Chain A
């Protein structure tokens, strides 16, 4: 179990990597962010439900899945990353996707109110939110280009670049569905790559 103070320090570090925070602002952030512990295999956002906000992952692994029978994984998100139906969030419409924890995770909900709080109460809050959207845009586009690349092994390599220990944390079956291939074909490709 991770101590709350360690997780709070992670939030502060993610912020101070981008902006300056005064001591008073440190205290305000600590009071205003609620850390949630979520067990693995918990769906924290169901498709077609209202979106409360986005989720900052302090520790753990989540998957973002499509609203289909197989609940196909579209993206994996790990420590320090933000996951959510961003377009639904921006347009205030129900989510077209779902989010599930893959392992026990510690997350923070970033609601509209929380984002407004950051913008209005921290001296460099607007700058932080602008940088957040810069990073998000870049991440979305990089992952979009990843999907254009039809070679599953190259896409797997790019996933491992982002989350190096993904194979230890997620089943081969789940990785195969993310790559849009069967688990048997995924095993075959990996064994050919080793040779």
Chain B
């Protein structure tokens, strides 16, 4: 945050006092469906999966949050609406949990607080729009290449099963196609 805005050490200290460090085991549900999301998470280590619930039973992996990124169930967090998303730890994960009240404190008490919010949301808009374009793409290879543009190091953090879920294909199909691309580039 200090790389994006100017704020004093007492302000930083006051803000940090409102936050807490949380450790989540793999498969722990951090944000549940139907609840109202009122916390923002900064991932220090590990990976979070953001799932969209299609109905009572089915859910789809919509996005992931890698280390040094912010995430939450954004529509619920911003609009105070019941949540359609679930956030689950895909690995053992350590996060800084930032309550919405801390963010509101930042906007009201730090001169560049609104600037931080603007930069945060601009970044999320770019990610969301990139995800939208991946969905619209018909070629699997192009979908994967577009995914790498958003997350260049994704292969270091998650396995092919997670990547195939993000691309909305079976793991077997993705693995088969991936080998073709990898072997064709080696030739």
Binding site for B on A (CB under 8 A): 66, 86-87, 90-91, 96, 126-127, 129-130, 133-138, 140-142, 144-145, 147-149
* Minimum C-beta distance from B65 to chain A (A): 14
**Contacts A126-B115, A137-B78: A145 and B84 contacting too (C-beta < 8 A)?**
yes
Given contacts A137-B128, A148-B54, 17 further A-B contacts (CB under 8 A): A86-B125, A87-B130, A90-B126, A91-B126, A127-B114, A130-B121, A133-B122, A135-B78, A136-B125, A137-B124, A138-B75, A138-B79, A140-B132, A141-B128, A142-B75, A147-B132, A148-B135
Q: How many residues of B contact A (CB 8 A)?
A: 27
**What separation, in Å, do the CA atoms of A135 and B132 have in the docked complex?**
17
**Contacts A145-B84, A147-B135, A148-B135: A126 and B118 contacting too (C-beta < 8 A)?**
yes
Residues of A within 8 A of B54 (CB): 148-149
> Secondary structure of the A side of the interface?
helix
Q: Do B60 and A130 have beta carbons less than 8 Å apart?
A: no
* Minimum C-beta distance from A140 to chain B (A): 5
Residues of A within 8 A of B128 (CB): 137, 140-141, 144
Q: Do B117 and A134 have beta carbons less than 8 Å apart?
A: yes
> Secondary structure of the B side of the interface?
helix
Among B75, B117, B129, the residue within 8 A (CB) of A86 is: B129
User: Considering only CB atoms, which chain A residue lies closest to B76 in the complex?
Assistant: A138
Question: With an 8 A cutoff between CB atoms, is B29 at the interface?
Answer: no
**What separation, in Å, do the CA atoms of A149 and B135 have in the docked complex?**
12
Question: With an 8 A cutoff between CB atoms, is B32 at the interface?
Answer: no
Residues of A within 8 A of B78 (CB): 134-135, 137-138
Residues of A within 8 A of B7 (CB): none
Q: Do A133 and B117 have beta carbons less than 8 Å apart?
A: yes
Question: With an 8 A cutoff between CB atoms, is B107 at the interface?
Answer: yes
* Minimum C-beta distance from A18 to chain B (A): 12
User: Considering only CB atoms, which chain B residue lies closest to A143 in the complex?
Assistant: B132
Q: Do A90 and B125 have beta carbons less than 8 Å apart?
A: yes
